[in-house]
Chain A
Amino acid sequence: EPEVTQTPSHQVTQMGQEVILRCVPISNHLYFYWYRQILGQKVEFLVSFYNNEISEKSEIFDDQFSVERPDGSNFTLKIRSTKLEDSAMYFCASRDGQGSSRDTQYFGPGTRLTVL
Chain B
Amino acid sequence: GNSVTQMEGPVTLSEEAFLTINCTYTATGYPSLFWYVQYPGEGLQLLLKATKADDKGSNKGFEATYRKETTSFHLEKGSVQVSDSAVYFCAPQKSNTNAGKSTFGDGTTLTVKP
Contact = CB atoms under 8 A, between A and B. Distances in A.
A binds B: yes
A25 interface: no
A109 B106 CA distance: 19
A91 B102 contact: no
Report the interface size class on chain B: 20 to 34
A42 B89 contact: yes
Interface stretch (B15-23, B43-51, B61-69): B43-51
A45 B100 contact: no
A85 to B, nearest CB: 19
A48 B101 CA distance: 7
A50 B99 CA distance: 7
A33 to B, nearest CB: 7
B98 A103 contact: no
B16 to A, nearest CB: 29
B105 A91 contact: no
Contacts, number: 66
Report the interface size class on chain A: 20 to 34
A77 B114 CA distance: 42
Contact of B103 (A45, A107, A109, A110): A45
A65 interface: no
Interface string B36-47: 100000111110
A109 B42 contact: yes
A33 B103 CA distance: 12
14 contacts: A45-B102, A50-B98, A55-B99, A56-B99, A56-B101, A91-B44, A95-B100, A103-B93, A103-B95, A104-B46, A105-B34, A107-B36, A107-B46, A110-B43
Interface of B: 32, 34, 36, 42-46, 49, 51, 89, 91, 93, 95, 97-107
Q: Lowest 3 A-B CB distances belong to which pairs?
A: A56-B99, A43-B104, A103-B32
